[in-house]
Amino acid sequence: MTLLVYHLLPVHGRTRNWWLLLASVLFYWWGVGGEIVAISFVAVFSFVATWVSWYITKKRVQSGHPGAARVPLALTVAIILIPLLVFKYIPQAAESGVPGFTRLADSFGAADWILPLGISFFTFHAVSFAVDSARTGFPLTRSFPSYLMYLFVFPHQIAGPIVRYAEIKEEIENPRVITPSRLGYGASRFTWGLAKKVLIADNAGLVANAMFDSAAYSGQLSAPGAWIGAIAYAIQIYFDFSGYSDMAIGLAAMLGFHFPENFRSPYASHSISDFWRRWHITLTRWFRDYVYIPLGGNRRGAVVEYGALLVVFALTSLWHGALVGFLIWGGLQAAAMLIERATGLRDSKRFLLVRRILTAFFILFAWVPFRTTDFEHSVEIWRAMLFRYPADFVAPQILTSLTSLSIAALILGALAFFASSKRTGFERVFAPTEGNLAVSKVRGWAVAPVLFVVTIAGVLLSDFSPFLYFQF
């Protein structure tokens, strides 16, 4: 309905923007209800504070105190982060078991607080706007409605990609002419993402859930079951998350926006450094530009570089949640990247096939604590993966989950580990090239409609399954 009305409205003028803003806000309000208050605070405060920060900074510089110019920006960013910190981490503190934290959090009823949907991504967009405005020396827009459009436009507001205002500034502030080619690209990309979620991620998730549930019972897992489950989860999280990004990019294209790519065949990486150039690209870019480089990056020697890297992965872990499993996952990623940098493997072109295989095994191992979120179950699964044989035993729950649909999903999903690292699955099937949104007419008209019908059938025949990254 939103798309239909949008395309019936005149291209020129602001009518389309107002309709899209209204639809996006209503979409968010329908999804979160009263929690929209926290998001509204971030939206209003970040815009006003960016302008106030600019004005104060300008006056301080004019009065000969340039050293204090960063204080208003730091304060702005700190306050923007408050709702995220409050809603995401105080409830976890209430369940931590630490007496002081638990009592304090319980006194506010924190255990019953609900995390506002998409608040992490919303907050990162607001921080990006404030910092980029400070770096350019002037707020990126004078228009509050345009800023609200940037924050609320519904394709990216729940789980990314993380878009910078400058990337869509011209598209927000000028008429968006949507060609048939762009519309076809958007529809094909949306369908591709929906199919990845429904047909592959959700079916692989049934197997992954069976394995991780079995880990709760010591001795239930053998090596084959543990490996099947670990591979299933790797497939689930990739096709679920990248599927959402594909859908967001496709919807954005149908609305006249160009969103950045968020995944580029990450399981085809030959190192963990390469993996993070391909996985959740816009989050990696965000931490690089707003944390890693400001801390010194690789410009001040190895000690500063490694320290900055550790800080980035500590924050990346905490961004997902203050749980032991996320911290272990982040620690493993940081350790691998430090080893690659210290040994020169990050930039080496030797033994690429061997390194690609080892990287795939590392990724599978590292996803285990990310999924379990605790140490004991992670160790139980790792033990099973490495030491627990005979190979003819697989837990009954896992065997039951291996239906024809889930096996097909695992086979198709496993292709991500063997695919070429140069092109994404969408590019190979629909034949667009980077910077060219024109999909192959034959493939677009032949594949997309069939894929859409099959996917909708899958939606109707399956239970509701939210996107995994909605929890973050």
For the annotated catalytic residues, the residue numbers are: 320
Backbone φ and ψ for 9, nearest 5 degrees, come out as -80, 155
Place of tokens 């255990």: 111
Among the listed residues 247, 245, 260, 258, the one whose alpha carbon sits nearest the alpha carbon of residue 178 = 258
Which pair of structure tokens corresponds to residue 378?
A: 């992670």
Contact 385, 365 (CB under 8 A): yes
Contact 117, 32 (CB under 8 A): yes
Q: How far apart are CA 242 and CA 194, in angstroms?
A: 10
Cβ-proximal residues to 32 (8 Å cutoff; 6+ apart), any chain? 39, 116, 117
Residue ranges in 344-440 assigned as alpha helix (H): 352-372, 375-387, 396-401, 404-418, 425-430
Among the listed residues 165, 168, 153, 155, the one whose alpha carbon sits nearest the alpha carbon of residue 47 = 165
Q: How far apart are CA 53 and CA 80, in angstroms?
A: 13
Q: How far apart are CA 88 and CA 125, in angstroms?
A: 17
| Buried b or exposed e, range 214-247, using 16+ CB within 10 angstroms | bbeeeebbbbbbbbbbbbbbbbbbbbbbbbbbbb
Cis preceding-peptide flag for 161 (omega within 30 of 0) = yes
Contact 192, 424 (CB under 8 A): no
Reduce the DSSP state of residue 433 to 3 states and report it: strand
Contact 133, 166 (CB under 8 A): no
Place of tokens 């205002």: 165
The CA-to-CA distance between both ends of the chain, in Å, stands at 28
Q: How far apart are CA 44 and CA 122, in angstroms?
A: 12
Q: How far apart are CA 239 and CA 233, in angstroms?
A: 10
